[in-house]
Amino acid sequence: MTGVQIYDEGYRRWRASTKHCALFGADMPAEIQPFSFVPFDGMEFVSSLLELPAGGTLVDFGCGRGGPGMWLAARAGASVIGVDSSRVAIDDANARQHDFPGLVSGKFVVADVADTGLPDHSADAVVSIDVLQLVPDPAAMTREIARVLKPGGRVVVTTWEASGAMDKRFPRDVRGLFDGLSDVEMHDRPGWLSRQIAIYEQAIEGDDGSDAAIADLAAEARKQLPYRDDMRRVAVSAVRL
């Protein structure tokens, strides 16, 4: 399977799962339904860093089923445009907009985060939750973020920085990927990593073979847990000059 097919299948398995949302979204409003490891207080932290103006437009790079971006935009009284390579996720995101009453508008499109097709300087803010470490060319993604941001617009990207024997696909110098932006700040979030480890342990414990989405998560957990000391959990914020 290609990377896109793997995500499409993962989202289909999630649709059929009774346990997936309960694990990922346990501490947050039910409508967010994240496919990511940022806890609810982390979402509030991301919101405070973004400074998204009311009436503005947030672009969500790798939006998945759209919940985190819609929650952030609704909170600010703003609109969101989400891009993701998974058609299954984008269809779910477009169908879920009525779950976020404060949202001015939402539009979700299938596109690569390195080549979104969005106009230059069209975003008041950009967010990307747990995507950067997955893309083949993360520098192309951050260049695309700089292109679509308006001057003065802020970006917040959550990801992991790897060291040691950690999965070689994970970035080793996250700050260096943001050279084209200014005021770059790395925010260490060890508490997010602790929560991720707890979710991994619950997935392994709950994997009785009856739920394919939980089986996927348990497989990921078995692969990543040995490297827990090699993962630095970060949120990066920056400004486009």
Ligand X SMILES: C[S@@+](CC[C@H](N)C(=O)[O-])C[C@H]1O[C@@H](n2cnc3c(N)ncnc32)[C@H](O)[C@@H]1O
Residues 193, 230: contact at Cβ < 8 Å?
Answer: no
Per-residue tokens: 126: 């950009």
Residue in 228, 220, 231, 221 with CA at minimum distance from that of residue 162: 231
The CB-of-33 to ligand X minimum distance in angstroms stands at 7
**Nearer Cβ to ligand X, position 34 or 39?**
34
In angstroms, give the least distance from the CB of 21 to ligand X.
Answer: 11
Inter-helix orientation angle 212-224/3-15, to 10°: 130
85, 159, 196, 224: residue in contact with ligand X (rule CB under 6 A): 85
Which residue's entry shows tokens 């984008």? 90
Tokens of 43: 């979402």
In the set 17, 86, 202, 224, which binds ligand X (CB under 6 A)?
86
From the list 31-39, 169-177, 222-230, 232-240, the region that binds ligand X by CB under 6 A is: 31-39
Q: Is 84 in the site for ligand X (CB under 6 A)?
A: yes
Helices (H) and strands (E) in the chain, counts: 8, 7
Q: Is residue 7 a contact point for ligand X (CB under 6 A)?
A: yes
Cβ neighbors of 17 (< 8 A, separation 6 or more) are: 211, 212, 213, 214
Tracing tokens 């630095």 back to the chain, one arrives at 232
Q: Nearer to ligand X by C-beta: 62 or 153?
A: 62
- CB contact at 8 A, 150 and 121: yes
Q: Which of 62, 106, 138, 153 binds ligand X (CB under 6 A)?
A: 62
Task: Give residues 145-164 in contact with ligand X (rule: CB under 6 A).
Answer: none
Closest to 6 measured CA to CA, from 69, 89, 81: 89
Closest CA to 235 of 125, 81, 122, 132: 132
Region of 29-37, 167-175, 188-196, 225-233 interacting with ligand X (CB under 6 A): 29-37
Cα Dmax for the chain: 51
Is residue 34 involved in binding ligand X (CB under 6 A)?
yes
Among positions 99-138, residues that touch ligand X (CB under 6 A) are 112-113, 129-131, 134-135
- Please, what is the minimum distance in Å from the beta carbon of residue 137 to ligand X? 9
Determine the Cα–Cα distance for residues 185 and 236; give it in Å rounded to an integer: 6
CB of 101 to ligand X, least distance (A): 20
Residue of this chain nearest to ligand X (CB atom)? 64
131 vs 155, which CB is nearer to ligand X? 131
Question: Binding residues for ligand X, per CB under 6 A?
Answer: 7, 34-36, 62-64, 68, 84-86, 89, 112-113, 129-131, 134-135
